[in-house]
Amino acid sequence: MVQLDVEKTLSELDLSEKVAITAGADFWHTVPIPRLNIPEIRCSDGPNGVRGTRFFNGVPAACLPCSTALGSTWNVELLESIGELLGDEARAKGAHVLLGPTINIQRSPLGGRGFESFSEDGVLSGTLAGYYCKGVQSKKVGATLKHFVCNDQEHERLAVDTIVTARALREIYLLPFQLALRICKTACFMTAYNKINGTHVSESRNILEDILRDEWKWKGLIMSDWFGTYSTSDAITAGLDLEMPGPTRWRGSILAHAVNSRKVPDHVLDERVRNVLDLINYADKSGIPEDAEEKELNRPEDQKLLRRAAAESIVLLRNNKSVLPFDKNKPVAVIGPNSKVSTYCGGGSAALLAYYAVTPFEGISKASQADVSFAQGAYAHQSLPPLGPLLKTTSGKKGFDFKVYNEAPGETKGDVLDHLTLVNSTAFLADYKNPKVKSDLFYVDIEGIFTPEEDGLYDFGVTVIGTGKLFVDGELVVDNFTKQKKGFAFFGSATVEERGSKELKAGVSYQIRFEYGTRPTSKLENRGVVDFGPGGFAFGACKRRELQDSIQEAVDLASKTEQVLIVAGLNGEWETEGYDREHMDLPPGTDELISRVLDANPNAAVVIQSGTPVTMPWAHKANVLAQAWFGGNELGNGIADVLYGDVNPSGKLSLSFPVRLQDNPSYINFGSERGRVLYGEDIYVGYRYYEKTELQPLFPFGYGLSYTTFSRTIVSLEVAPEKSTLADGETITATITVANTGKTAGAEVVQLWVKPPVTTGIKRPVRELKGFTKVFLQPGENQDVQITVEKKLATSFWDEIRQSWASVKGEYTILITGTGEDTLSATFEVENTRYWLGL
């Protein structure tokens, strides 16, 4: 790669070449122009790990805790380190641009991709995102802030019109992007799928040019979300530089015609091209070559960082009678559906193949010095668990044989076009390639040997984009060929899971054969806009258990064991890109399991894994309760570290946890209704609503306990003198003495809130988070910490009449909170009402 003279190169490009480089070449790469030494650059998903260029049979990667987990660390230093790790992982995968972080706002617990974003609050989200991007870009890899903006639901996400006031748009939804840019000028932005007030964001000149480029003075590349371009002339003139993925749908000859007919002025196209060339120059400085080989890192220092992040993200919600930490020298019973499952990430484009994943049971077993027993209690899966990892090939390898043919099963198959040994029985074939396979129509035979550990009735399931049949010892057990129904898997393009069952004996080896036909064989009507190429499949199995018998086994175990851990929650099926949850409840049977185990042992520790809030009807019974999120590679070790006190929990909730779904402010306005969604709660999202209405959530935003205690004292509040114009540099600095008053080392999160004056004509939240810091203290240690915020950011609301930020004259109150219920306060004056625009 080489540094381009952008203006000289621009003058040498012909129209067809200019058009070509404003769209992707394929799913992950831009279009090269070898004639002018213009290379391709590679993008790769984030946000919680770098997948590389392959969905199918890809190179494993480091998987971080999900973003709501990282948000709950409230630790900018940790987020910068995480960004550095992602930068190194991107380099290993040959990626010049990382497609993350996601910094949308969780209006509702139901949002399918809520786990991908940091917080319901723009200050927390934008600050953490800024340091995350700073870490990524320190490795010469471009970060991408997404999805710009109001991409806060999955229901009809490509079509829905978000109806939102200018004030809510500015104060809630644009704010995290604005604050992130103050910390790190990212290389890229990615547009949202949705419309805002009638116009798709990728076609909104007001958002892309007027706000992002002109008002915020940001210079970089704006790309569409994948398949999130909906026009030619409108998108180009609005400021969308790059249509992704390729090959193009909207540019090509259509854009050339638009330029020739002067629907798109030449200078506008040149500006789009200029931004692409600038990104190529940015990528060149990374030293990452074109079409680089994808490699694994999995370094010991990375494993250590991921373990720290997993533990630091855990939020201790209740610890009555100081039941935790547990004693490593006493036996422990591990119960629940998430115990022996590595629920390390959510679903959709955030999902990836991890280097490894430590289950909670494995983490506890490794840490314990005594016996560790187990009871399932209930299942949490939506589809049956993947069968692939339980299979062996005829040669004894873990996994199964994957053989590709041109002909369907039952016909003369001819030559095997491809033969792989795979372990993952969930395969998304969008990027499957083999030179012998000439089209999207082909057939796959999958064979493996399954040897169950228990007698019983086993359920088998098959989900496909295409068609499939599953046989056990030659007997057809699952038919997903004859009749098919539309489902939600694979971004909403697959069938529902078809199931069948068969009695199996422990220790007996059974021949599993799965016959798969690719997408062209499907009987479903394809109404999607996304081209998934050959399609995809998933096949799974597990022993059927009678729920009441299984719960009773768990209750019996809990009643005779002093130390009990229940691990339950959701997974990447329940929380995933492509659809929103229908309710906040845990999977069927889970609530009954937890409630009955708590009746048998009230001191059982309940650990919930989910990316967003769930209902907890048994919460009043729980003496010990923690939120562990989707914890990445090291989730099991992170849980064990906190459970046994090797790490003192310091997480604070990045989201409000309502008692029930109906309490959420977006309850009556979530989801697309006749093509639009009304953001009727306006600025009262999350804690702003609960505090304004005095409705007590189950657990509030910013809440979290510790194994130690802290005290806080305001030492001083320094307010810079006012100038005639409210500008950068006019700050408020609070100095607080924080002391660890307990017997255990631990970290305290100090939160600074601002309460506005009572004004007429404008309603404002009771208080808003404006700054925070985290400090680690030994027992008896105290330390002075400072939180500095800009006065304009701390005091302003968006004035829709003036179309600017307004800092209104009056007395404001600083509130300082942290672990415990104590709140400190101090006041300051804004002497004159002033207005401002910009970052």
Q: In the structure, what pLDDT confidence band is assigned to residue 722 with cuts at 50, 70 and 90?
A: confident
- Note the Cα 691 to chain centre separation in Å: 27
Please state the rounded mean pLDDT for residues 774-784: 98
With 60 as the cut, is the pLDDT of residue 799 above it? yes
Could you say which architecture CATH assigns to the domain 710-836?
Answer: Sandwich (2.60)
pLDDT of 156 reads 95
Task: Give me 702's structure tokens.
Answer: 């910013």
Q: Does domain 383-543 have CATH number 3.40.50.1820?
A: no
Question: Residue 416's CB: how many other CB atoms inside 10 A?
Answer: 12
- The predicted structure's pLDDT at residue 725: 76
Spatial CB neighbours of 419, under 8 Å, sequence gap ≥ 6 = 401, 402, 403, 404
Length in residues, the chain: 839
Share of the chain above pLDDT 90, in %: 93
* AA identity, residue 403: K
Confidence of residue 96 (pLDDT cuts 50, 70, 90): very high
Q: How far apart are CA 222 and CA 216, in angstroms?
A: 14
Nearest to 159 by CA among 678, 679, 677: 677
Q: pLDDT value at position 490?
A: 85
Q: Is pLDDT above 60 for 447?
A: yes
pLDDT reading at 579 higher than 60: yes
The pLDDT, as a whole number, for residue 399 is 96
Across the chain, what does the average pLDDT equal?
Answer: 96
Q: Which of 164-168, 492-496, 596-600, 805-809 is predicted with the least confidence, judged by mean pLDDT?
A: 492-496
Closest listed residue to residue 354, CA positions, set 308, 389, 401? 389
Q: Phi, psi (5° rounding) for residue 392?
A: -130, 150
Domain 303-381+552-693 and domain 383-543, same fold? Reply is no
Rounded mean pLDDT of 209-217?
98
For residues 480 and 468, the answer to whether their CB atoms sit within 8 Å is yes
In sequence order, what DSSP letters do the residues of 103-142 get, joined into one string?
Answer: ----SSTT-TTGGGB--SSHHHHHHHHHHHHHHHHTTT-E
More confident residue, 493 or 610: 610
Q: Given this model, what pLDDT does residue 433 score?
A: 87
CATH code for residues 303-381+552-693: 3.40.50.1700
- To the nearest 10°, report the CA torsion of 196, 117, 348, 306: 160
CB 702 within 8 A of CB 688: no
Q: Between 376 and 491, where is the model more confident? A: 376
Q: What is the pLDDT of residue 174?
A: 98
Q: Which pLDDT value is given to residue 2?
A: 75
pLDDT at 409: 75
Rounded average pLDDT over 496-510: 97
**Share above pLDDT 70 across residues of the chain, in percent, rounded to a whole number:** 98
Q: What residues does 776 pair with on adjacent strands?
A: 747
Closest CA to 490 of 514, 470, 468, 515: 468
Q: Give the pLDDT of residue 411.
A: 62
Amino acid present at 653 = L
> Would you say 433 and 57 are in contact if contact means Cβ atoms under 8 Å apart?
no
- Split at pLDDT 50, 70, 90, the class of 796 is very high
In which residue are the tokens 């185990």 written?
A: 597
Least confident of 484-488, 543-547, 559-563, 680-684: 484-488
* pLDDT surpassing 80 at residue 410: no
What is the C-alpha separation between 147 and 161, in angstroms, rounded? 15
Angle at 673 between CA 668 and CA 675, to 5 degrees: 145
Q: Which two tokens stand for residue 727?
A: 């500008």
pLDDT at 529 exceeding the cut of 60: no
- Write down the pLDDT at residue 837: 96
Let me know how many helices (H) and strands (E) the chain has, helices first: 19, 36
**Dihedral sign, CA of 111, 113, 117, 122?**
negative
Q: How far is residue 552's CA from residue 568's CA, in Å, rounded to a whole number?
A: 16
Q: Whole-angstrom Cα distance, residue 752 to residue 767?
A: 10
User: Which residues does 54 contact at the CB level (< 8 Å), separation at least 6?
Assistant: 294, 431
Do the beta carbons of residue 506 and residue 453 sit within 8 Å?
A: yes
Residue 686's CB: how many other CB atoms inside 10 A? 27
* Closest to 10 in 3D by CA, of 284, 275, 286: 275
- The bridge status of strand 746-755 relative to strand 768-777 is antiparallel
- Does the structure show a pLDDT above 90 at 709? yes
Where do the structural domains in the chain lie, given as residue ranges? 6-284, 303-381+552-693, 383-543, 710-836
Tell me the per-residue pLDDT of 648-698, one tens digit each, with 9 for 90 and over.
Answer: 999 999 999 999 999 999 999 999 999 999 999 999 999 999 999 999 999
Residue 621, judged by CB atoms within 10 A of its CB (0-12, 13-18, 19+), counts as middle
Q: Which of 424-438, 489-503, 694-708 holds the top average pLDDT?
A: 694-708
**What was the pLDDT predicted at 431?**
85
Neighbouring residues of 8: CB distance < 8 A, sequence distance ≥ 6: none
Answer whether 113's CB lies under 8 Å from 347's CB: no
Q: Which of 447-451, 455-459, 578-582, 702-706 has the lowest average pLDDT?
A: 578-582
pLDDT of 1 reads 63
- Cβ-contact 630, 651 below 8 angstroms: no
What backbone torsions phi and psi does residue 114 show, to the nearest 5 degrees? -55, -35
* Residues 147 and 193 sit within 8 Å (Cβ to Cβ): yes
Average pLDDT of the residues in 409-425? 85
C-alpha 356/C-alpha 701 separation (Å) is 32
Average pLDDT over residues 211-237: 98
Q: Is residue 488 very low, low, confident or very high in pLDDT (cuts 50, 70, 90)?
A: confident
Q: What is the pLDDT of residue 528?
A: 57
**More confidently predicted of 162 and 529:** 162
Instruction: Please state, as a whole number, how many other Cβ atoms lie within 10 Å of the Cβ of residue 64.
Output: 33
Grouping H, G, I as helix, E, B as strand and the rest as coil, residue 689 is helix
**pLDDT tens per residue, range 227-272:** 999 999 999 999 999 999 999 999 999 999 999 999 999 999 999 9
- Give the Cα separation of 250 and 233 in Å (integer): 9
- Nearest Cα neighbor of 189 from 100, 62, 104 is 100
Residue numbers annotated as active site:
225
Q: Which residues of 478-492 are buried (b: 16+ CB within 10 A; e: fewer)?
A: bebbeebeebbbbbb
The dihedral through the CA atoms of 372, 373, 377, 378 has a sign that is positive
pLDDT tens across 585-609, in order? Answer: 999 999 999 999 999 999 999 999 9
Pick the CATH number of 6-284 from 3.40.50.20, 3.40.228.10, 2.40.50.140, 3.20.20.300: 3.20.20.300
Distance of CA 250 to the CA centre of its chain: 29
Residue 449: φ, ψ to 5°: -115, 130
Please tell me the predicted confidence (pLDDT) of residue 531. Answer: 62
